[in-house]
Structure 1
């Protein structure tokens, strides 16, 4: 049986320095930086930015096989104001607005942006999912 967990998310990027600059403009600090990959320690997992050519070689595929898939990465916040601030910070850092934050059908508040490589991020406030003090999310028990 395989454990139900994710420990590392790796994003393939065209220009590692551009991507690193973008995430640092969000206020993120790399934990480890190598010529082909940069790692950021998150709450219980690691995010890696890996140059696409190096990532493709590591996977044993041509770099033309790599693209951005149908995936959304998300950051949840406690308030709508925090969502708005995170969205504004991302745009100022060079993100592309996909959907400005707004009230949504499921009862929360969210918006979407794309990083310089087209990776989609959602910034959201979900009143049904309380966050711990460190920002980590544990789904509430089902009734």
Structure 2
């Protein structure tokens, strides 16, 4: 298996709210959508982020849909400056997200903060991790 992720699918309880957060709030262009899913092509075109109804996604994978609390997954958005970290966190908050950890310096010389989008998915916004790809 090659080390590549083609699609990250987030299970959401309110598809309209999640669509609004990413498309209108964060300004992400929609690549495709249907009555029960929305897909955004991420920068570079090699990976997509899809939104799909929570219960339907669980059913599709044949797993229970009653997950709650921390899900053991974070999504990361890496930028080139501390100022941009702060700006992205503000954008997310204005779009309806909740900052759960304000940006601060890290022990490894970086700078990062976390927000939760309206459906409960945890995002890290960071700079200083030069060995990782930048999101912008």
TM superposition score normalised by structure 2: 0.88
Give 4+ residue runs of structure 1 displaced > 6 Å after superposition.
Answer: none
Equivalent residues of 1:78, 1:130 under 8 A apart = no
What is the match of residue 78 of structure 2? 76
Q: CA deviation at 1:53?
A: 2.0
User: Secondary structure of 1:101's match?
Assistant: strand
SS of residue paired to 2:66: helix
Mapped to 1, the partners of 2:128 and 2:70 lie a distance apart of 26
Cα separation, 1, equivalents of 2:27 and 2:17: 15
Give the TM-score of the pair, scaled to structure 1. 0.84
Q: How many residues align?
A: 133
Say which SS state the counterpart of residue 61 (structure 1) adopts: coil
Partner of 1:5: 4
> Is the Cα–Cα contact under 8 Å of residues 56 and 66 in structure 1 kept in the other structure?
no
**Alignment match of 2:63 (pick from 27, 49, 61):** 61
1:96 corresponding residue in structure 2 = 98
Counterpart CA distance in 1 for 2:65 and 2:133 is 38
1:4–1:10 CA distance, 2 compared to 1 (3 A): same
User: Equivalent residue for 1:33?
Assistant: 33
Instruction: Name stretches of at least 5 consecutive residues in structure 1 with no aligned partner.
Output: 136-143
Give the number of the structure whose alpha-carbon radius of gyration is greater. Answer: 1
* Structure 2: segments with no counterpart, 5+ residues: none
1:64 Cα deviation (Å)?
2.7
Q: In the aligned structure 1, how far is the partner of 2:85 from the partner of 2:12?
A: 25
